[in-house]
């Protein structure tokens, strides 16, 4: 099989057997029959169902909590005695085990769907159990991801949902390859957070056969199935040589002439703190708190929230931790809130701060827990609101934070209107943090989840750079800091340009920190300024990138 | 044949956690146990799919039956689960 190429979104070299994630288990054809030994076929069916039940229980035991209850109930479905009787009868009539399982599950499925409501929703759980059992019987990989592996695998999928990836770590996954997605898709963000190489927008990746060894270069975007041993060695050597150069630069972020640019880490929960410390983050620039709220049937308790915040604050004594209050809605619905009205464009709907204004009890509980956590720690807690569009919204959020006893309240600049009127917003807020992913999505009217629109998601687009400049200037007019916590901050070349545009701190997935630190340390603030001006003068993303590089000679020594 | 008639009090009816607990408890008993909604057709109480399919809501009356040694004890335990708020 020849090499494939996609967009490299998380650098590094990954190598391991392909694990091709499928969500569609093929339907066993109607009329599929066994070879005549009904007894053996019944035993096969029983064994497959038991295997599925045991696997679900084991996964449940590992995650605990509500997920364990859901998985436990699914295991009971696989072990259901009524179902087993029905399957056995169908096999006795001559149907193959896979077809019998499929049909018998279908009978219960109809009953559940017919009842609607809660039971209707259980049909999806039932389908999952059915697909797993059919997959076992057909000798196919079980749908869903193994969260333990003998050796780390290269995860290949059309696209990955956050739920697919909740249990993954760098010990399990050697690299991600998806057919869809762009540099700002969930896969890309997750991969960078885990420090796992990733390639997205890689067409036909799912045609790689299951189990075939794959070499993935997360910088160049090259995906090589069944590579030669020399290719793997060469790729690994190149990557480690580059890492050694980058690791040589340590200490706080600054330009070569001593202009300080604090380098912070983006995290999705306490589990990412180790990586932030390992790569020398000076603090946390974006603590996403969604992990506490998504995929659960009730809101997290005050105590649970407080503990999760305190864990992170305690990791940075005396340092800065910027927590983003819950950013839900759109692609991140909350199960414990009433379902939202059908939103034709959820990304343009009631999400982020808009959702929090509709459910102030959630915001108040979160801010209260944050304030209590801050009072027990020496870290400097800052909080910020997602999806702020107007100065009025900024003022409302800051007032609520003040009331909760939180002295530093900022807003994220993710909507063009907020960047355009940055000075007005900066009059209300204590600081800005620019989220370049959403800002690009809304500036170019290009959904960040759509792989085909990757070019419009490019943070080098001059229109996006214009908005960054506006936001940074507006903040400076009011004497307020303006950081960038979008993925753009992790591009070492763009990081220099952002500093030139007036950005005051950079926050990124922790593994990107060394390259950004090294790039800044090799250039003066003046060089960054010139690079920024050159990028602003360009008319395309490619031109902007090339123009900026011509003013940043230090990049050559970093192989960037 | 021993039997109990119980009004289901849980907000979620005999779904979700109550259903799982009910079925798990029935499955541990070494005898046949059935459950019916009102005067409806009894189903195997050890089958989560059958119990869910009854679609028992809060306020519904269920009839639980068992036959054999220790039937009363099993039914008492199941009645407590089914009637728990």
> Quick one: three-class SS letters along A116-165?
CHHHHHHHHHHHHHHHHHHHHHCCCCCCCCCCCCCCCEEEEECCCCHHHH
Q: Which two tokens stand for residue A415?
A: 């909507």
Domain A38-138 has CATH 1.10.8.80: no
Task: Report the DSSP pairing between strands B2-7 and B61-66.
Answer: antiparallel
Q: Does residue A193 carry a pLDDT above 80? A: no
In total, the C-beta contacts within 8 angstroms joining chain A to chain B are: 43
Q: Which two tokens stand for residue A346?
A: 């959820």
Q: Which two tokens stand for residue A42?
A: 């019944």
The model's confidence at residue A171, banded by pLDDT at 50, 70 and 90, is confident
- Domain A4-22+144-226: give its CATH code: 3.50.30.10
C-alpha to C-alpha distance for A383 and A370, rounded to whole angstroms: 9
Question: Which of B31, B32, B48, B55 to substitute to test the interface with A, most A CBs within 10 Å?
Answer: B48
CATH 1.10.274.10 maps onto chain A at: 38-138
Q: What is the pLDDT of residue A433?
A: 98
Q: What is the pLDDT of residue A242?
A: 81
Element (H, E) at A402: helix A391-403
Query: Distance between alpha carbon B38 and the CA centroid of its chain, in Å?
Result: 12
Q: Which two tokens stand for residue A288?
A: 């996403």
Which of A537, A417, A525, A520 has the alpha carbon at shortest distance from A471?
A417
Q: What fold is seen in the domain A255-436+465-524?
A: TIM Barrel (3.20.20)
Q: Which two tokens stand for residue A178?
A: 């998806």
ipTM: 0.93
Q: What are phi and psi of A219, to 5 degrees?
A: -95, -50
Task: Report the DSSP pairing between strands A409-413 and A380-385.
Answer: parallel
Which member of A485, A523, A528, A551 is catalytic? A485
Q: Which two tokens stand for residue B16?
A: 């979700």
The model's confidence at residue A94, banded by pLDDT at 50, 70 and 90, is very high
Full pLDDT tens readout for chain B, 85 residues: 899 999 999 888 888 788 999 999 999 999 999 999 998 999 999 999 999 989 899 899 999 999 988 899 999 999 999 998 8
Of B15, B19, B44, the CB nearest to A82: B44
Q: Tell me the nearest-neighbour CA distance from A110 into chain B, angstroms.
A: 10
CATH 3.20.20.60 maps onto chain A at: 255-436+465-524
Top-confidence residue, A558 or A538: A538
Q: Tell me the nearest-neighbour CA distance from A75 into chain B, angstroms.
A: 10
Beta bridge partners of B61: B7
The model's confidence at residue A222, banded by pLDDT at 50, 70 and 90, is very high
**How many Cβ atoms are within 10 Å of A200's Cβ, its own excluded?**
29
Domains contained in chain B, CATH given:
2-83 (3.30.1340.10)
Q: What is the pLDDT of residue A49?
A: 96
User: CA torsion A265→A268→A269→A273, rounded to 10°?
Assistant: -30
Top-confidence residue, A319 or B13: A319
């Amino acid at each position: 099989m020849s090499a494939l190429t996609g967009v490299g979104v998380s650098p590094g070299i990954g190598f391991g057997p392909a694990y091709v994630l499928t969500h569609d288990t093929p339907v066993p054809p109607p009329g599929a029959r066994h070879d005549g030994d009904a007894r053996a076929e019944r035993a096969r069916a029983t064994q497959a169902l038991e295997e599925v039940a045991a696997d679900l229980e084991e996964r449940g035991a590992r995650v605990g909590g509500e997920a364990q209850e859901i998985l436990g109930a699914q295991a009971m479905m696989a072990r259901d005695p009524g179902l087993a009787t029905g399957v056995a009868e169908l096999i006795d009539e001559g149907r193959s085990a896979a077809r019998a399982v499929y049909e018998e599950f279908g009978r219960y499925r109809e009953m559940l769907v017919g009842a609607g409501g809660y039971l209707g929703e259980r049909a999806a759980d039932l389908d999952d159990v059915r697909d797993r059992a059919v997959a076992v019987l057909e000798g196919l990989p079980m749908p869903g991801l193994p969260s333990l592996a003998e050796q780390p695998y290269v995860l290949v999928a059309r696209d990955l949902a956050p739920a697919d990836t909740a249990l993954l770590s760098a010990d399990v996954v050697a690299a991600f390859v998806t057919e869809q997605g762009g540099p700002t898709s969930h896969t890309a963000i997750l991969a960078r957070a885990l420090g796992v190489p990733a390639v997205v927008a890689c067409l036909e990746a799912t045609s790689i056969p299951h189990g075939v060894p794959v070499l993935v270069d997360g910088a160049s975007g090259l995906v090589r199935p069944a590579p030669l041993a020399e290719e793997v060695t060469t790729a690994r050597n190149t990557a480690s040589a580059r890492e050694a150069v980058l690791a040589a630069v340590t200490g706080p972020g600054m330009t070569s002439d001593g202009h300080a640019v604090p380098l912070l880490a983006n995290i999705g929960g306490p589990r990412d703190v180790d990586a932030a410390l390992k790569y020398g983050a000076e603090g946390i620039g974006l603590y996403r708190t969604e992990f506490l709220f998504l995929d659960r049937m009730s809101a997290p308790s005050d105590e649970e929230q407080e503990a999760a915040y305190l864990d992170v604050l305690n990791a940075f004594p005396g340092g800065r931790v910027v927590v983003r209050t819950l950013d839900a809605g759109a692609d991140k619905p909350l199960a414990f809130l009433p379902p939202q009205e059908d939103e034709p464009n959820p990304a343009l709907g009631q999400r982020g701060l808009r959702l929090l204004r509709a459910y102030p009890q959630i915001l108040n509980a979160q801010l209260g827990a944050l304030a209590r956590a801050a009072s027990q720690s020496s870290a400097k807690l800052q909080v910020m609101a997602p999806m702020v569009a107007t100065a009025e919204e900024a003022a409302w959020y800051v007032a609520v934070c003040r009331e909760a006893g939180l002295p530093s309240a900022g807003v994220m600049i993710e909507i063009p209107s907020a960047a355009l009127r940055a000075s007005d917003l900066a009059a209300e807020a204590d600081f800005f943090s620019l989220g370049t992913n959403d800002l690009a999505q809304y500036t170019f009217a290009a959904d960040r989840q759509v792989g085909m629109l990757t070019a419009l998601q490019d943070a080098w687009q001059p229109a996006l750079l214009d908005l960054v400049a506006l936001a940074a200037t507006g903040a400076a007019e009011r004497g307020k800091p303006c950081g960038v916590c979008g993925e753009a901050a992790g591009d070492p070349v763009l990081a220099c340009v952002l500093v030139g545009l007036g950005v005051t701190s950079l926050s990124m997935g922790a593994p990107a920190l060394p390259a950004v630190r090294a790039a800044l340390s090799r250039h003066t603030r003046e060089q960054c300024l010139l690079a920024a001006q050159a990028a602003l003068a360009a008319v395309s993303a490619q031109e902007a990138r090339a123009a900026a590089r011509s003013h940043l000679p230090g990049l050559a020594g970093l192989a960037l | 044949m021993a039997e109990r008639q119980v009004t289901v009090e849980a907000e979620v009816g005999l779904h979700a956690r109550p259903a799982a607990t009910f079925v798990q408890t029935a499955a541990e008993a070494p005898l046949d146990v059935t459950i019916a909604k009102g005067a409806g057709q009894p189903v195997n109480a050890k089958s989560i799919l059958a119990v869910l399919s009854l679609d028992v809501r809060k306020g519904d009356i269920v009839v639980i039956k068992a036959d054999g040694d220790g039937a009363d004890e099993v039914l008492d335990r199941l009645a407590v689960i089914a009637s728990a708020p």
